[in-house]
Amino acid sequence: MREICVIGGNRYFGKRLIKRLLDTGDRVTVINRGSSTPPETVVHLIADRDDEDSLRAALGSRTFDVVFDQVCYTPRQAEIARRVFAGRTRRFVMTSTVEVYEYEHSTALVREEAVDPLTVQVDLHAPWDDAEFRDAHYGEGKRQAEAVLARDPAFPFVSVRVAHVLGGDDDFTGRVDHYARRIRAGEPIAVPAENHPATYVYVEEIADFLAWTAGQEFTGPVNANAYGTLTTDDICAAIEHEVGGTAEFLPVEVGATSPFSFARSYAMDNSRAAELGYTFLHSSEWLRDAVAETLGFGKEVR
């Protein structure tokens, strides 16, 4: 029986990850601030992950085979996690994001080496505690968090760079609903004048992939995304299939655009995952089901 710790992440694909670990027979410990209660079969520790003393006190002498950090957004949080979990785990898996590639302007599928954490500059003194600053620098915060964890050669670190996630009747982002409301009402959907495709991942599959990493030995960054890029048109076509109506797009040169429209490419290459032994699905295999689940027209597959 493996001892596995999950920091935060008790909703959306985090709760699915916990279920998969429990189904495998792992003993799971969840650490959060107490705002959400995990399943009764897990060990629940209440701590503020931003407070090193609080985290250490909650953990006591516990050690783990694997730690999943679902809520590491800043280099400061990464620094605390690295100090606290050094020597406590053989494997530390951070949920990162496609947004780490925000400076890599390319129309080609981007590979992990495009952002080497060892070359990323870290600024621990930036106002990371300010929520507005943190939200505005989401991708940079994740980049720097990866850099902090990667620079300790004795720390067994993995960063799973997750594509934009679709699916589930518990999708709290409101992004799919944004399009559905406008399509139903016949309202225009703002997109960049040059609207780029992106890679996505199904909510059930990212939970599968994270659970799979628990039993692996590789370290470093790995892209987690389906085969096949999607455009705003593709997603809206799937929504049209559920709600009726026709999407009307309004190209804009400057100003706010809709959630799944991008002025630059966010398309990742998942060949490292395949080389390591995990093959993702193609987006065409789950897109309609994912949209139906989110809009309440279907049931989750798992």
Q: What is the pLDDT of residues 34-77, one digit of tens each?
A: 877 888 899 999 999 999 999 999 999 999 999 999 999 999 99
Provide the pairing of β-strand 43-46 with 220-224: unpaired
Nearest-10 crossing angle of helices 13-24, 203-213? 50
Q: How far is C-alpha 187 from the chain's CA centre?
A: 30
Residue 206 lies in a domain: yes
Q: From 62, 70, 68, 65, select the one nearest 90 (Cα to Cα).
A: 65
Percent over 70 (pLDDT), the chain: 97
Are 10 and 18 within 8 A, CB to CB? Answer: yes
User: What is residue 271's predicted lDDT score, i.e. its pLDDT?
Assistant: 97
Q: What is the pLDDT of residue 302?
A: 42
CA distance 246 to 180: 10
Residue 126 in this model has a pLDDT that exceeds 50: yes
User: Which one has a higher pLDDT value, 300 or 172?
Assistant: 172
For residues 214 and 68, what is the distance between their CA atoms, to the nearest angstrom? 9
Q: Which are the contacts of 247, defined by CB distance < 8 A and separation ≥ 6?
A: 179, 182, 183, 189, 233, 236, 237, 239, 240
C-alpha distances out from residue 173 to 30, 149, 155, 191, 260, Å: 23, 28, 33, 18, 12
The pLDDT score that the predictor gives to residue 106 is: 66
Report residue 103's pLDDT band, with 50, 70 and 90 as the boundaries.
confident
Number of domains in the chain: 1
Mean predicted confidence (pLDDT) in 227-237: 96
Start-end of H helices in the chain: 13-24, 52-59, 75-85, 131-136, 138-150, 175-185, 203-213, 232-243, 271-276, 287-295
pLDDT greater than 50 at residue 300: no
Domain contains 220: yes
pLDDT tens across 71-98, in order?
A: 999 999 999 999 999 999 999 999 999 9
Tell me if 174 is assigned to some domain.
Answer: no
Task: Confirm whether 287 is domain-assigned.
Answer: no
Residue 150 lies in a domain: yes
- Identify whether 294 is part of a domain: no
In a domain, 56, yes or no: yes
How much is the pLDDT for 31? Answer: 96
Share of the chain above pLDDT 90, in %: 86
pLDDT of residue 109: 93
- Structural Rg of the chain based on CA atoms: 19
Strands (E), 65-116: 66-69, 92-97
Domain span holding position 80: 3-166+199-226+266-280
Say which CATH number the domain at 87 has.
3.40.50.720
In the predicted structure, residue 301 carries a pLDDT above the cut 50: no
Average confidence (pLDDT) over 158-183: 95
Task: Say if residue 260's pLDDT is above 70.
Answer: yes
Q: Could you give the maximum distance between any two Cα atoms of the chain, in Å?
A: 58
153-178: average pLDDT: 94
Assigned domain for 293 exists? no
- pLDDT band, very low/low/confident/very high, at 298 (cuts 50, 70, 90): low
Per-residue pLDDT band for 10 (boundaries 50, 70, 90) equals confident
Give, to the nearest 10 degrees, the angle between helix 75-85 and helix 52-59.
30
